[in-house]
Amino acid sequence: MIQKVNKPIQLSGAKNVRELGGYSTKDGKRVTRKGVFLRGDGTHALTPEDIDIIAKMGVTLVVDMRSPDEIKQYPSRLSSVKGVDYKNVVMFDSLNSSLSKDHLPNSMAELYCLLLSGCKQQYGRIFRLFLNNRSASLFHCTAGKDRTGVVAMLLLQLAGVPDSMIASDYSVSEQNTKGMFDKQHEQYRKQGIEVPDFVFRSRAEDMYKTLKYLYSKYGGAAEYLRECGLALDEIDELITRFVE
């Protein structure tokens, strides 16, 4: 069952920029703090008004996880905004590589587990960037579903948010960006590439499977981030900053 999740911020040039604050922890005694982390889709079409809205939300760090080719084609409008530290942390794009080799993962969960196992250096860098930023951080990719979804999962699990809420927060991306996914699907068809429907979906079951992998392989987000190079005090600081 999809639980009530944060609605996208009303922007003209992006459809899936969302606050991660306001979610209760498992014990119901604490809540994730607003104005700390925002997840998002592409920032290449943001209008000056959109940028002003984001600036007023206190965003001083933008982590763009897209590939160099994606950025070259669609440069971020936030890369040269005064007062914003724009960083590109490239996650390996297994999906695009798979398309060119006529081989796809069997599910999005499989791709997310590959990201967790293969991108520890990148996740370590991203979370250290979060630590060094004293105001709001916005992290994004193209649709705000896959690369962004894994970072959001790690943050929410670290904060003690229930798995059901993490899965719900993930699953709404499909609806938020439906028009974008429909367009992508059609573009692939025109190129003669048949892509399974699950690639364009954000099924809660894929996030549950990813969480199961996280717990069985690492024990949880805190233990995983230790493997990414973060110290215990750094992880505690992240939790303190994000949870009230």
What integer pLDDT is reported at residue 177 of this predicted model? 86
In a domain, 133, yes or no: yes
Query: Residue written as tokens 């005064």?
Result: 82
Q: Which of these, 137, 143, 18, lies nearest to 87 by C-alpha position?
A: 137
Task: Give the span between the Cα atoms of 37 and 202, in whole angstroms.
Answer: 20
In a domain, 12, yes or no: no
Structure tokens at 222: 């805190």
In a domain, 22, yes or no: yes
In a domain, 180, yes or no: yes
DSSP 142: S
* Residues sharing a CB contact under 8 Å with residue 169, sequence separation 6 or more, in sequence order: 5, 6, 18, 20, 23, 152, 156
**Strands (DSSP E) along the chain, which ranges?**
18-19, 37-40, 59-64, 85-88, 136-140
Contact 6, 18 (CB under 8 A): yes
What integer pLDDT is reported at residue 94 of this predicted model? 47
Number of domains within the chain: 1
In a domain, 194, yes or no: yes
What integer pLDDT is reported at residue 240 of this predicted model? 97
What integer pLDDT is reported at residue 181 of this predicted model? 59
Task: Give the pairing type, strands 59-64 and 136-140.
Answer: parallel
Q: Which of these, 44, 84, 92, lies nearest to 65 by C-alpha position?
A: 92
Above pLDDT 70, what percent of the chain? Answer: 86
Q: Which long-range CB contacts under 8 A does 182-188 form with residues at least 24 apart?
A: 188/99
In a domain, 11, yes or no: no
What integer pLDDT is reported at residue 185 of this predicted model? 58
Q: What is the CATH number of the domain that holds 92?
A: 3.90.190.10
SS3 39: strand
Domain extent at residue 43:
18-242
In a domain, 3, yes or no: no
Question: What are the Cα distances from residue 138, in Å, to 72, 226, 232?
Answer: 20, 22, 24
**Parts of the chain with a pLDDT under 50:** 94, 97-101
In a domain, 1, yes or no: no
